[in-house]
């Protein structure tokens, strides 16, 4: 078998396309990618925020809201992310990063507007799947574009800005939900924001690295190629496993915070929407901090290890909040959000680990596969409850998710300052 290797693009070809390009971390591509991820997170987390009132208005009993239909809707959205991640990743490498940014936001904007018109659980399931499918392309394409247009010394700052601005969309979603009151209007607002962003994206230029590959005869956008070479597959798997703790925290501990709080006899009612707002406020700070520390330490790997240990500590604290006041519970949700604020580093590692002809495929599928693991995490969480208590089950699943990520971070390649001007042989 011919060994796997990397080979550079033509330096002259790249230079011609970069001489007149801005290298500022505040250029239009970074701003648009940041706003796109903002709308992405707004729409992605909106269901979790309005889950209880929307399902109540559709006539579902509380038992279905907490487990059955509530969990199914979250999982079907994640399945949409999984399928969409593959589709948009391939499109990003075959047709271009901008094609994904336009197509994905159009689909999830229309889907979220449609969510505002649903009258039953079946319609809700359909449009959450379509929304998840559309949302899958946003982050990966944005991070890929930003990583390729910025010089290697600055791209960490660029992806930091994208993630920091983006995750604040969850805080905005909770605030709008409280101000508006009507969950249907909240979906309309999310869809409207996405459609408005399409106008701004007209001014964004395509990645110069992608244009160089497109002009060559190099094969690109092969999802299958990620599995045909052992070293490449292991590297891909490592990138994916790094993100599992974030969605365990958000999809289990925070999404069902009201039930965890009830079991731990927290003094006062806990709103999942408020818990998400506090968690994502922490994520904003965490993503900024992890990106900044990564630049200062000149390392992605060390920052991942630091934040994963921080996550383990905070999950332990969260699961031992017996009888605390409401403000203490929300404060821990905020700090827990800071601890999983390594999403920018996680996706940046994925983008920096692969050549230009597979970069969008990897950067788009990796975060969505990490998100898409939530159904598996949920199934594990439910199955473990057959043998352990609710809190013990949460602790066991936490050990699995964080433990796997820690081992992966210890073995993952350091990608800080890596030259992205190369291709994968596929």
Q: What are the sequence ranges of the domains in the chain?
A: 6-15+22-424
For position 282, what pLDDT does the model report? Answer: 92
Length of the chain: 426
For position 64, what pLDDT does the model report? Answer: 67
- List phi, psi (to 5°) of 267: -80, 85
- 151-199 confidence digits (pLDDT tens): 877 788 888 888 888 888 877 888 888 898 888 999 999 889 888 888 8
For position 14, what pLDDT does the model report? Answer: 37
Beta bridge partners of 423: 7
Choose among 140, 168, 147, 39: nearest CA to 84.
Answer: 140
Q: Which of 3-7, 70-74, 75-79, 300-304 has the lowest mean pLDDT?
A: 3-7
* pLDDT above 90 coverage of the chain, percent: 25
| Per-chain mean pLDDT for the chain | 84
Choose among 251, 244, 274, 276: nearest CA to 75.
Answer: 251
CA atoms within a 13 Å half-sphere pointing along the CA-CB vector of 280:
30
Residue 29 has pLDDT above 50, yes or no: yes
- List phi, psi (to 5°) of 423: -120, 160
Say which residue the tokens 């006041």 belong to: 325
Q: Residue 12's pLDDT band (boundaries 50, 70, 90)?
A: very low
- 242-265 confidence digits (pLDDT tens): 988 998 998 899 988 989 999 999
Considering the segment(s) 6-15+22-424 as one domain, its CATH architecture is Up-down Bundle (1.20)
Count Cβ atoms below 10 Å from residue 187 Cβ, excluding itself.
25
For position 24, what pLDDT does the model report? Answer: 64
Residue 15 has pLDDT above 60, yes or no: no
Q: Residue 384's pLDDT band (boundaries 50, 70, 90)?
A: very high
pTM of the model: 0.79
């Amino acid at each position: 078998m011919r060994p796997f290797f990397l080979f550079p693009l033509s330096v002259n070809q790249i230079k011609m396309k970069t001489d007149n390009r801005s290298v500022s971390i505040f250029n239009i591509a970074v701003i648009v990618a940041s706003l796109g991820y903002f709308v992405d997170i707004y729409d992605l987390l909106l269901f979790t925020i309005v889950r209880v009132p929307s399902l109540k208005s559709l006539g579902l009993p509380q038992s279905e809201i907490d487990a059955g239909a509530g969990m199914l809707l979250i999982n079907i959205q994640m399945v949409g992310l999984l399928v969409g991640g593959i589709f948009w990743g391939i499109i990003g490498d075959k047709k271009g990063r901008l094609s994904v940014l336009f197509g994905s936001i159009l689909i999830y904007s229309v889907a979220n507007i449609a969510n505002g018109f649903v009258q039953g659980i079946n319609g809700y399931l359909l449009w959450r799947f379509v929304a998840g499918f559309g949302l899958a392309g946003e982050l990966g394409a944005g991070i890929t574009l930003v990583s390729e247009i910025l010089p290697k010394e600055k791209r960490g700052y660029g992806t930091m800005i994208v993630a920091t601005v983006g995750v604040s969309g969850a805080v905005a979603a909770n605030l709008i939900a409280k101000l508006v009151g009507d969950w249907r209007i909240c979906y309309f607002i999310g869809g409207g924001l996405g459609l408005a962003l399409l106008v701004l994206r007209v001014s964004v230029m395509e990645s110069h690295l992608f244009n160089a590959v497109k002009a060559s005869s190099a094969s690109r956008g092969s999802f299958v190629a990620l599995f045909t070479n052992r070293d490449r597959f292991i590297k891909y798997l490592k990138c994916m496993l790094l993100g599992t703790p974030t969605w365990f925290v958000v999809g289990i501990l925070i999404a069902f915070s009201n039930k965890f709080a009830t079991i731990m006899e927290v003094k006062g009612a806990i709103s999942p929407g408020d818990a998400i707002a506090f968690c994502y406020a922490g994520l904003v700070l965490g993503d900024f901090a992890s990106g900044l520390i990564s630049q200062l330490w000149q390392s992605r790997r060390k920052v991942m290890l630091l934040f994963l240990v921080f996550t383990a500590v905070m999950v332990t604290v969260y699961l031992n909040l017996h009888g605390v006041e409401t403000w203490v519970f929300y404060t821990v949700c905020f700090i827990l959000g800071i601890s999983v604020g390594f999403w920018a580093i996680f996706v940046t590692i994925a983008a920096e680990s692969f050549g230009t002809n597979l970069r969008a495929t990897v950067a788009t599928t990796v975060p969505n596969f990490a998100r898409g693991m939530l159904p598996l995490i949920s199934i594990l969480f439910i199955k473990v409850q057959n043998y352990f208590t609710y809190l013990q089950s949460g602790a066991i699943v936490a050990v699995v998710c964080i433990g796997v990520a820690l081992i992966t971070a210890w073995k993952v390649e350091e990608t800080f300052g890596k030259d992205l001007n190369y291709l994968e042989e596929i």
